Chains A and B, each alone.
Chain A
Amino acid sequence: MYFDLTDEQQAIKSTAHDLLAARYKSERIRELAESEHGFEQPDWDEMAELGWTGLALPEEWGGQGLGIVELAVLFEEMGYAMAPSPLFSNTIAGLALSLCGSDDQRERYLRPLAEGKLRGTPALWDADGPGTVGDFTMEARAEGDGIVLDGEKVLVMDAAAADFFLVATSDGRRHLVERGADGITVTPSTSIDLTRRLYSVRFDGVEVAAGETMPGEAADYYPVFFRLCVALAAESTGIAQRALEMAVEYAKDRQQFGRPIGAYQAVSHRCAQMLLETENSRSAVYGAAWAADAEPASLPKAASMAKAYASDAGWRVPDASIQVHGGIGFTWEHDLHFFLKRGRANASMFGDSKWHRDRVADAVLAEAAEPVSA
């Protein structure tokens, strides 16, 4: 029984913390928010060099062979720093290839991805489809040995800077499609979250050869899904942590009625609530990350608990921080809005808190059928 980071995990955390703090100062985040791709290649190369692009991928395929706990540690810091980066979309592509790809696909896509030489991103939600998880409408229309894709995918992260897409179809399969393939049009979307780029991607008669469809079937993507939920919940936890620290710092400093506002309980109790939500979020995330690595059978419930809780905390804590800041917190000039926006965008991605709570309800009601002193 040891529920804390090990020395190695602590080292990953402090390396990430220091590096990201140096790279992503406020002016830099603002520059990137207005840049074409939302990040720059030298930052990517540096992350690749540190092994972040393959952190939780098998060593056999060029990764670091570390676990989801380490991945959570890294994403918590990415959120804390509000780092604009395609690392998250790439991590999803890596996990999917690693768990559901063929050896040939892993050789061609996973290894270079782990090494930071290729970038991939999932293309999941359909423009005419529901916003729920796993409910895809794009058809994999058979033609010859392969298939043909027609339709439009939306909410595709970092699409313009990706080398390939993992395109989901109604049969639950994923297909590897290069961004430069004939019939593909990538259009930037307008999102509240300026630090994570979203695009819509049109597929007009895009031909996919047989070897580019991954062998994994719909159910095989659940282990990928739960792991990415943990990583995203970790990012939201980092966002909450930073927003909490900003509020506490401001409450100590800002004077009204002759005292620092943090001396007033209306403010200090709000900060205590923010701490509670941030710590709960962190515990849920690390509990789920540990489950992913050590006790996969309990991962689905643990991941849904973490994603549900962190989805709420990830925007409510920045929201409370804005309230503590008063007027200045509502200005474009203050950084808090980036945290509120990313937190709210994260909440909606890969199942919102309502969706995940409903899954938790299924699990706990099944358990409630067992006797109390079992």
Chain B
Amino acid sequence: MDLTLSPSELEFREEVRTWIEENHPGPEPEAGLEEVMAFRREWQLKMHAAGWAGISWPKEYGGRGATMIEQAIFVGEAARLEAPSPANVLGLAMGGPVVIAHGTDAQKQRYLEPILTGEEIWCQGFSEPESGSDLASLKTKAVKDGDEWVVTGQKVWTTFAQYAKWCMLVARTDPDAPKHKGLTYFLMDMEQEGVEAKPLVQITGEGEFNEVFMDEARIPDANVVGEVGGGWGVAITTLMNERAGLAFGAIAQVANSLKRLGALAAETRLNGGTAAEDPVIRQRLAQLHIEAETMRLNAYRGLTKTMQSGIPGPEGSLGKWQWADINQRMAELALEIEGAYAPLSRGDEHAVAGGAWQYSFLRSRANSIEGGTTDILKNIIAERVLGLPRLR
């Protein structure tokens, strides 16, 4: 057992730290998604020039070929120093790894470089209005027409679809096959007549997510990833990559939020003292710290296991569940500490901490829904970790 970094890992961390500190462009613009995307594109170009984009990708595909622990260090440092997100986050975390794992040589040649530079943004077309947690029941259909596929249907919760060039689309190509077997994974060009993206306004007032409507959209046969009918397996690779990458960034982000929560408690007057002296608030703050620490340590245990076996296990679901829960409870406690000021949000001159906790209270409601609901994660844990029988 050794919870320390090796000298070479420490050196790597120093390199990451120095690079981020020297190149950090400051906080993201608060107004408008357009401005935010432009800002993130610029940041991704900087990352790419220094070889940090596609850190987990093998060197032969333009990545850095970093070890798992180095990836964890990079993601953790970037989150700790509050570096911006790269513009093409889904392309880097999911699209690229899927093309590398399942794509043809021609696909690798065509798609990988523009993912790394951020020149082409990617989005993910999995969920549908009637297929959320039960993803394999999706209905968007793709019909073969010569050497093309004709796609009709609707996707939802498609992050950044309005900026995307490529969509990782899962569609039903064989309506007669059992539901997991009739699916195919496509790369769909978003810039065509038959595709329309409409932003969904979420409870924060922003529009990160979209509905995507496909009305006889066309996809060349060359854009099938993996086998026709093998889309489910490819989709699972995508989701595994999504979950594996999140943990260490989430941990660093929680650590920052906990520090701010402590500072908020220390600055807030309550009953003639400060909120930091209130026994109930102290108990809840400490409990959040303890659970955040167990989440961090669980992630290290998981990393050790994954480094030995090569594949992230279903235990990763514990971490995602726990992160969502901690994130929500931090914001809930912050609003309680703010007391009567709790409703005042971003843009109000009397808002506490610029309304940051109000935003986080609202945004974190999605944490237990996005990327696998907590309820579904509990099913996964019950079935795949504990071996309990399936309900279905």
Contacts of A154 on B, CB cut-off 8 Å?
none
Q: Mark B355-387, 1 if CB is under 8 A from A, else 0.
A: 000000000000000000001011101110111
Q: Mark B232-264, 1 if CB is under 8 A from A, else 0.
A: 000000000000000000000000101111110
Q: Could you tell me the distance between the alpha carbons of A358 and B69 in the complex, rounded to whole angstroms? A: 33
Q: Could you tell me the distance between the alpha carbons of A364 and B300 in the complex, rounded to whole angstroms? A: 21
Cβ contact within 8 Å between A1 and B285: no
Which of the candidate stretches A189-197, A268-276, A334-342, A343-351 sits at the interface with the other chain?
A268-276
Contacts of A360 on B, CB cut-off 8 Å?
286, 289-290
Q: Could you tell me the distance between the alpha carbons of A368 and B282 in the complex, rounded to whole angstroms? A: 13
Cβ contact within 8 Å between A367 and B262: yes
Among candidates A259, A279, A302, A368, residue contacting B266 with C-beta atoms closer than 8 Å = A368
Contacts of B4 on A, CB cut-off 8 Å?
1, 294-295
Q: Counting CB contacts under 8 A, is B305 at the interface? A: yes
Cβ contact within 8 Å between A364 and B289: yes
If A275-B318, A284-B290, A360-B290 touch, whether A263 touches B389 (CB-CB below 8 Å) is yes
Q: Could you tell me the distance between the alpha carbons of A369 and B261 in the complex, rounded to whole angstroms? A: 11
Contacts of A357 on B, CB cut-off 8 Å?
282-283, 286-287, 290
Cβ contact within 8 Å between B1 and A6: yes
Which of the candidate stretches B137-145, B291-299, B335-343 sits at the interface with the other chain?
B291-299
Q: Counting CB contacts under 8 A, is A361 at the interface? A: yes
Contacts of B303 on A, CB cut-off 8 Å?
1, 3
Q: Could you tell me the distance between the alpha carbons of A283 and B290 in the complex, rounded to whole angstroms? A: 11
Q: Could you tell me the distance between the alpha carbons of A309 and B298 in the complex, rounded to whole angstroms? A: 14
If A4-B301, A262-B382 touch, whether A271 touches B266 (CB-CB below 8 Å) is no
If A263-B389, A369-B263 touch, whether A358 touches B283 (CB-CB below 8 Å) is yes
Q: Could you tell me the distance between the alpha carbons of A17 and B276 in the complex, rounded to whole angstroms? A: 44
Q: Mark A253-264, 1 if CB is under 8 A from B, else 0.
A: 000000110111
Contacts of A276 on B, CB cut-off 8 Å?
318, 321-322, 381
Contacts of B260 on A, CB cut-off 8 Å?
368, 372
Interface size class of B (residues with CB under 8 A): 35 or more
Q: Could you tell me the distance between the alpha carbons of A1 and B260 in the complex, rounded to whole angstroms? A: 28
Q: Counting CB contacts under 8 A, is A286 at the interface? A: yes
Q: Counting CB contacts under 8 A, is B388 at the interface? A: yes
Cβ contact within 8 Å between A308 and B297: no
Chain B contacts with A in 285-328, Cβ cutoff 8 A: 285-287, 289-291, 293-295, 297-298, 300-301, 303-305, 308, 315, 318, 321-322
In angstroms, how far is the closest chain A Cβ from the Cβ of B76?
A: 12
Cβ contact within 8 Å between B262 and A271: no
Q: Could you tell me the distance between the alpha carbons of A354 and B388 in the complex, rounded to whole angstroms? A: 34
Q: Counting CB contacts under 8 A, is A142 at the interface? A: no
Interface of chain B, main secondary structure: helix
In angstroms, how far is the closest chain B Cβ from the Cβ of A257?
A: 12
Contacts of A364 on B, CB cut-off 8 Å?
258, 262, 285-286, 289
Q: Could you tell me the distance between the alpha carbons of A294 and B4 in the complex, rounded to whole angstroms? A: 9
Q: Could you tell me the distance between the alpha carbons of A14 and B301 in the complex, rounded to whole angstroms? A: 19
If A290-B1, A294-B4, A370-B259 touch, whether A268 touches B379 (CB-CB below 8 Å) is yes
Interface of chain A, main secondary structure: helix
Q: Counting CB contacts under 8 A, is A305 at the interface? A: yes
Among candidates B81, B262, B279, residue contacting A368 with C-beta atoms closer than 8 Å = B262
Q: Counting CB contacts under 8 A, is A9 at the interface? A: yes
Cβ contact within 8 Å between B379 and A2: no
Contacts of A272 on B, CB cut-off 8 Å?
377-378, 381-382, 386
Q: Counting CB contacts under 8 A, is A365 at the interface? A: yes
Q: Could you tell me the distance between the alpha carbons of A115 and B91 in the complex, rounded to whole angstroms? A: 62
Q: Counting CB contacts under 8 A, is A185 at the interface? A: no
Q: Counting CB contacts under 8 A, is A35 at the interface? A: no
Cβ contact within 8 Å between A369 and B266: yes
Q: Count how many chain A residues have C-beta atoms less than 8 Å from C-beta atoms of the other chain.
A: 51
Q: Counting CB contacts under 8 A, is A231 at the interface? A: no
Among candidates A5, A284, A305, residue contacting B1 with C-beta atoms closer than 8 Å = A5
Contacts of B389 on A, CB cut-off 8 Å?
252, 259-260, 262-263
Q: Which residue of A lies closest to B261 (CB)?
A: A368
Contacts of A305 on B, CB cut-off 8 Å?
289-290, 293-294
Q: Could you tell me the distance between the alpha carbons of A263 and B290 in the complex, rounded to whole angstroms? A: 32
Q: Which residue of B lies closest to A259 (CB)?
A: B389
Cβ contact within 8 Å between B285 and A361: yes
Chain A contacts with B in 68-105, Cβ cutoff 8 A: 69
Cβ contact within 8 Å between B382 and A308: no
If A263-B391, A368-B259 touch, whether A1 touches B289 (CB-CB below 8 Å) is no
Cβ contact within 8 Å between B1 and A3: yes
Q: Which residue of A lies closest to B274 (CB)?
A: A365
In angstroms, how far is the closest chain A Cβ from the Cβ of B191?
A: 39
Q: Could you tell me the distance between the alpha carbons of A309 and B283 in the complex, rounded to whole angstroms? A: 12
If A262-B382, A275-B381 touch, whether A280 touches B5 (CB-CB below 8 Å) is no
Q: Mark A1-35, 1 if CB is under 8 A from B, else 0.
A: 11111100100000000000000000000000000
Q: Mark A281-311, 1 if CB is under 8 A from B, else 0.
A: 1011011001000110000001001001100
Q: Counting CB contacts under 8 A, is A251 at the interface? A: yes
Among candidates A248, A271, A284, A354, residue contacting B297 with C-beta atoms closer than 8 Å = A284
Q: Which residue of B lies closest to A302 (CB)?
A: B293
In angstroms, how far is the closest chain A Cβ from the Cβ of B273?
A: 13
Cβ contact within 8 Å between A373 and B82: yes
Chain A contacts with B in 46-72, Cβ cutoff 8 A: 69
If A263-B391, A275-B385, A361-B286 touch, whether A309 touches B294 (CB-CB below 8 Å) is yes
Among candidates B259, B265, B282, B388, residue contacting A271 with C-beta atoms closer than 8 Å = B388
Q: Could you tell me the distance between the alpha carbons of A252 and B381 in the complex, rounded to whole angstroms? A: 14
Q: Counting CB contacts under 8 A, is B349 at the interface? A: no
Q: Counting CB contacts under 8 A, is B110 at the interface? A: no
Contacts A3-B297, A6-B1 aside, 5 further interface pairs with beta carbons under 8 A come to A1-B2, A284-B297, A309-B290, A358-B286, A365-B265
A-B contact pairs, 5 of them (CB 8 A): A3-B297, A69-B1, A272-B378, A360-B290, A365-B266
Q: Which residues of A line the B interface, CB within 8 A? A: 1-6, 9, 69, 248, 251-252, 259-260, 262-265, 268-269, 271-273, 275-276, 279-281, 283-284, 286-287, 290, 294-295, 302, 305, 308-309, 354, 357-358, 360-361, 364-365, 367-370, 372-373
